[in-house]
Chains A and B, each alone.
Chain A
Amino acid sequence: MTATTTFENSFAGAVLELAMAYEQVPFYGPHLDAAGLRPDDVRTPADFRGVPPTGKADYRRHFPAGVLTRGSTLADDFVFRSRSSGTTGERLVTLAHTFTLAQRQMRTTSVHQGMLRVFAGARPQRVCRYAPPACSDVECATPFTTAESRTLEDGTLVLPVAHDLLATSPELVEQAAGELLAHDPHWLYADPAHLAFLLDAMAERDLPLPAVGGVVLAYNLATASALRRIRARLPDATVVEVASMSELGWLGMTCPLGQPHLNTDSFYLELLAYGTDRPAEPGEPAELYVTSIGDRLSPHIRYRTGDGYTLLDGDCPCGHRFPRAVHHGRCRDYVVDGTGEVVLTPRMLDELAGPAGWLTFYKLTHHDTGPLLLRYIPVPATDHAEPAARLGAAIRERTGREVTVSAAGHIESERSGKLFGLVREAR
């Protein structure tokens, strides 16, 4: 079975979702009508690609009446809502049934039995989250909040952190560390850059490190440097990377072999070659479009994620049937050459940087023209200049663009609060 065939196994579910959305969700009727389509016209994946993609703006503009199934309200039982600014900084209110999210989480986690055991053994309400403030529904960016005020309905304790991660004050770091140790979580749900930052800070202060059974890294692409530090600080924890979106929940997870698998049971996923509407070949830069399956509250049809992936061919040695695809970060940040070819993605850049024992964080910023600007925060007392120059040369060779390399004392987070390694800036 090819990777593409694996994706198409869930196509029947997408067709049913489309029909349901057209009949039951007010936004989708006019959306399809404007394209001259009816659900009955859609019989093949190629037909399905004729359905106009949806985006954040659609769900924001039509919230709530247009995006809920008829008869549903936000006050219904089991409706979970989250306000998120997301990776793009574009805000959105997300609605989902708690049981739907739980099901997606469990199906996604089926690729990692060890993580399933962590979840199964978790004490009630023993999760800590450490992520950009904009990713949580509670105020967590000031020192004037309490752990109680930051505890979500499901018992998750959101730890405090500044919007600009590396500018988090020592007081806020110590507050987060203290609460983390006092809460004694069974597992952590964290942005990898954030968690690496906090664990480094705790180690610097000679604080004990949390005895967690598992770590779920989400929100942001995990750099090799962040993974190196997290694994070194928490050697006994099961660490997985999760592809998730507040709109949809968990979409994918790394298996015990570290291979990234996408959940094709809960979603019909399309990987379209970057800048086109044709299915991508293995290894080809692609953008992910998601259609929910079985969502009876607020289905998403051909939701354009803006996230880049490349499909991996062949079966995973772990034996799981979910297809493998490597997350490459936000498509908008890609470095593209004059012919439109993608020459550098956040993932490619991180592969060039590697675990890099000489740096903690880096950021490569670029405009459409001019040199690429690489800043990095060196690990103290390391000989960082030479490897930094080598990294700059590798980027230059990969992109054909000039690269300016400099060590920095601070690297700013994005407006979303996330610390990205590769950022395209508009002039």
Chain B
Amino acid sequence: MTLRDTLRADFPVLDREVDGTRVTYLDSAATSLKPWAVIDAITRYYREVSANIHRGKHMLSEEASDAYEAARTRMAAFLGVRATDVVFTPNTTHGLNLVAAGVDLSPDDLVLVSRDAHHSLQLPLRARARVEWLPVRDDGAVDLDAYAGMLAHRPAVVAITHCSNVTGRYAPVAEMAALAREHGALTVVDAAQSVPHRQVRLPDLGADAVAFSAHKMLGPTGIGVLAVGEELAGRLRPLHLGGGMVDWVDDGSWVLRRTPHRFEAGTPHIAGAYGLRAAVDYLDELGMAEVADHDRWLAELMYAEAGKRDYLTVLEPGPADRSATLSVAVRGIDDLTELARALSDSYGVMCRSGHLCAQPLVDALAGTAVLRLSAYVYNTPDDVHLAFAALDELHPFLATG
């Protein structure tokens, strides 16, 4: 065990039973569970403050404003950037759309996109520009030589999945971003699956924009982060206009506030900021190095267990720098809905089935929907063993042929 043994008690959902069976939660790539510290922080806002920010002069408003901005500062420290670089968004998807829409791409612009991109990364760009997939080797890793060759075609943007939500594989973002910068391309990174699982210092990545969500890192749903450097922020057009993002409005014009406020139109998710700060505090208390060790340890176990079973086909098996996310096709079961339901209802194992919002990749690798197990800080080897034992029991009943 790389994390403290008492950690599971911090997550009330793990006390739940489904028809008498303890919940085994292995769907953290979809969203993580929330510890009491986060739940308490959110309810504290509603219970004790509940005021809007940046608008009033009364004490409660000032207290909320201070806490909201303190959350921004805390997040900036976590990422190693300035607070002005941290834009609060509703989620990763919103942040990626803000960049795709805000850089004013034209249909003739070339954009290079990771082959394992989530729909949220690829679709906003595919809707606006000419997209080509980043080249990969047979083992699924990015082919850096071929990538360097593609950069000669002068792409406007390179869009990179830091960690795949399908295979758990990490991409060498720092190396890729440096190459992109040499060729004048912006780099935008989907870090939804990486920031929760290891220390990600943005200056080390060298990307122009990095997006992720609080809810995958123990925080609440409805708030995320777009970390955007000063250079890109200056040319990025806000996606929404409205209150809170302007300094001056008269009959003829308006003046945008400085970043990050110009990207946060309307009342934000204030309670979410309270919760996000509590989540960052919680992760820092655990230690991100320990969180990363735990993640690697579970990843090795999951891939080893899957490899022992001939009825499972692992998507991109083999050694890799990866997170504890495993996707498998299951022999003899094309519709995995039944399997996922039975894992849930009969064994208490909560995991995901489908195309995982990365359909082009899943279709290319598996040709069908897949089952995904994804672990986080509260998971133990027992959880993994229980899930595979349940699969072993269910497969003979559900498989055909």
Q: Chain A 72-90, CB within 8 Å of chain B: the 1/0 string?
A: 0111000001010000000
**A91: chain B residues within 8 A (beta carbon):** 341, 345
The residue of chain A having its C-beta at the shortest distance from the C-beta of B21 within the complex is A61
Bound CA span A175–B341, Å: 31
Of B20, B21, B338, B401, the contact of A93 (CB 8 Å cutoff) = B338
The residue of chain B having its C-beta at the shortest distance from the C-beta of A81 within the complex is B338
**B18: chain A residues within 8 A (beta carbon):** 61
Instruction: Verify A74–B397 contact, CB threshold 8 A.
Output: yes
Instruction: Verify B393–A75 contact, CB threshold 8 A.
Output: no
Bound CA span A81–B401, Å: 18
Query: Is B398 engaged at the interface, CB distance under 8 Å to the other chain?
Result: yes
Query: Is A16 engaged at the interface, CB distance under 8 Å to the other chain?
Result: no
**A62: chain B residues within 8 A (beta carbon):** 346
With A93-B338, A93-B341 as contacts: A61 and B346 at CB distance below 8 Å = yes
With A57-B19, A61-B19, A61-B20 as contacts: A68 and B397 at CB distance below 8 Å = yes
How many residues of A are counted as interface, with CB atoms below 8 angstroms from the partner's CB atoms? 17
Of B21, B337, B346, B399, the contact of A75 (CB 8 Å cutoff) = B399
Instruction: Verify B397–A60 contact, CB threshold 8 A.
Output: no
Bound CA span A75–B397, Å: 7
Query: Is B60 engaged at the interface, CB distance under 8 Å to the other chain?
Result: no
Of residues 272 through 326 on chain B, the ones whose CB sits less than 8 Å from some CB of chain A are none
The residue of chain B having its C-beta at the shortest distance from the C-beta of A92 within the complex is B345
Instruction: Verify B397–A65 contact, CB threshold 8 A.
Output: yes
How many residues of B are counted as interface, with CB atoms below 8 angstroms from the partner's CB atoms? 19
Q: Chain A 45-78, CB within 8 Å of chain B: the 1/0 string?
A: 0000000000001101111111010000111000
Bound CA span A74–B342, Å: 12
Bound CA span A74–B398, Å: 6
Of B332, B345, B396, the contact of A63 (CB 8 Å cutoff) = B345
Bound CA span A73–B398, Å: 7
The residue of chain A having its C-beta at the shortest distance from the C-beta of B398 within the complex is A74
Bound CA span A83–B20, Å: 21
Of residues 1 through 55 on chain B, the ones whose CB sits less than 8 Å from some CB of chain A are 18-21
Instruction: Verify A75–B19 contact, CB threshold 8 A.
Output: no
Interface centre among B338, B345, B394 (most CB of A within 10 A): B345
Given A61-B345, A65-B394, 10 more A-B residue pairs with CB atoms under 8 Å apart are A61-B18, A61-B20, A61-B346, A64-B342, A64-B394, A73-B396, A73-B397, A91-B345, A93-B341, A93-B345
- Of the A-B pairs whose beta carbons lie under 8 Å apart in the complex, a sample of 24, sorted by A's number, is A57-B20, A58-B19, A60-B345, A61-B18, A61-B346, A62-B346, A63-B345, A64-B342, A64-B346, A64-B394, A65-B346, A65-B394, A65-B397, A66-B346, A68-B397, A73-B396, A74-B338, A74-B398, A75-B398, A83-B338, A83-B341, A91-B341, A93-B341, A93-B342
Pick the 5 closest A-B CB pairs, nearest first: A61-B19, A57-B19, A75-B400, A64-B397, A60-B345
